[in-house]
Structure 1
Amino acid sequence: MMKKTILTLIITLAVSALCSAQRIESQKVFGGYQYTLNGQPISLKHMTIAMESNPEAFDLIKKARANTTIASIFGFAGGALIGWPIGTAIGGEEPNWALAGIGAGLIAVAIPISSSANKKTNQAIEIYNSNLYSSGYFKPEFKFLTNKNGIGLAMSF
């Protein structure tokens, strides 16, 4: 009876560990990339959490998130600076086209930063997925233990 219980526990732990490791997929869509986990969209924040177990992928995804934030700030500010003079012109007043020029410059700065973030994200996904089932990700170790209470089997991974 005890052997069956231990065997069932070991098999359950092994299967649950393997099932918890899911591939993150990346698909190019209009305006960027869409990332999915088990067919469901996943955000960069949740990707970061999923990649904590892989230091190399985790570092890359953190840099990608920082670049995405910076690109978003520049892009939003640039869009606002372009939109303000356009709105002024539509309203019939004299627009300040210098603001639109500055906005275009900010957007021009945001594009390569965003591109860098996408590259880093895809590299992190590649590293994360390549290490999912490698020997380093799930490598169970079994140890027989004895103490004053008896004999036991320990599994660590």
Structure 2
Amino acid sequence: MFSRKTLYEKIVFVAALSTTAIAYAQHDTILLGTTNREFFIKGDQKYRFSEYKKVFINPEALAYMRKSNTNGTVAQVFGALGGAFMGYRLAQELFFKKQTAYHNGVAYEIKRRGGWGIAGIGLGMVGVSIPFAIGAGKNMKKAIRTQNDADAQSTAETSKTSYRLDVSGNSVGLTYNF
């Protein structure tokens, strides 16, 4: 039967081997978070959107991320201006429908007409922002996919499996590298 010391050594060896296997077999993939504070999740760390240069180290993925950032900014500008123009015209229509005018001492109400061109311009600006927003999302997904693929490829290249049997004196050891 085994002595306690050798059994203990075998348990420690198997535990160390499995821990090492788990540590080296995994690579940190990038995931999208749900909030601005957790926009990118890489392993256990959470990054904001503004910290994308820390997350993406692959040049191709970084280029996709920059393009996504630019498209997102353009979409936000056009969307905000378009929404402001439409909101301005709708507020005029709802709250300032009638205007009191005086003609020869007689008061009468004048209904405002026109002004829907501003709302149309706003609607057009919102329409222009939509393709930019879609492009920003697609480029962000491409950046994440490219970075994850590059990380997986570099992990596969660096981890080559090898076995080695070490015999010395009165001990025998098996080394497993992956």
The amino acid that maps onto 1:23 is: T
Q: Which runs of 4+ in 1 moved over 4 A?
A: 38-42, 136-140
1:45 maps to which of 38, 41, 50 = 50
Q: Does 1:82 align with 2:66?
A: no
**Residues 17-96 of structure 1: matches in 2 within 5 Å?**
22-26=28-32, 35-37=39-41, 38=43, 42-51=47-56, 53-93=57-97, 94=112, 96=115
Residue 145 of structure 1: aligned partner: none
Deviation at 1:132, TM superposition (A): 1.5
Question: Corresponding residue for 1:148?
Answer: none
Q: By how many angstroms is 1:56 displaced? A: 0.5
> Gapped runs of 5+ residues in structure 2?
1-22, 98-111, 160-178
Q: TM-score, normalised by structure 2?
A: 0.56
**What is the aligned residue count?**
119
Q: What corresponds to 1:121 in structure 2?
A: 140
Deviations 1:33-91 (A, max 9, x none): x944057764432223311x200000010011000000000000000000001111121
- The SS at the match of 2:76 is helix
Letter in 1 for 2:123: A
Identical aligned residues as a percent: 26
* Cα offset, 1:139, TM superposition: 4.6
Work out the CA distance in 1 between the residues paired with 2:75 and 2:89.
Answer: 22
Q: Deviations over 1:16-45 (max 9, x none)?
A: x998x6322247x8xxxx944057764432
Q: TM-score, normalised on structure 1? A: 0.63
Give the gaps of 5 or more residues in structure 1. Answer: 1-14, 141-157
Larger radius of gyration: 2
2: CA distance, partners of 1:102 / 1:75: 11
SS of the counterpart of 1:25?
Answer: strand
C-alpha change, 1:70 and 1:39, in structure 2 (3 Å) is farther
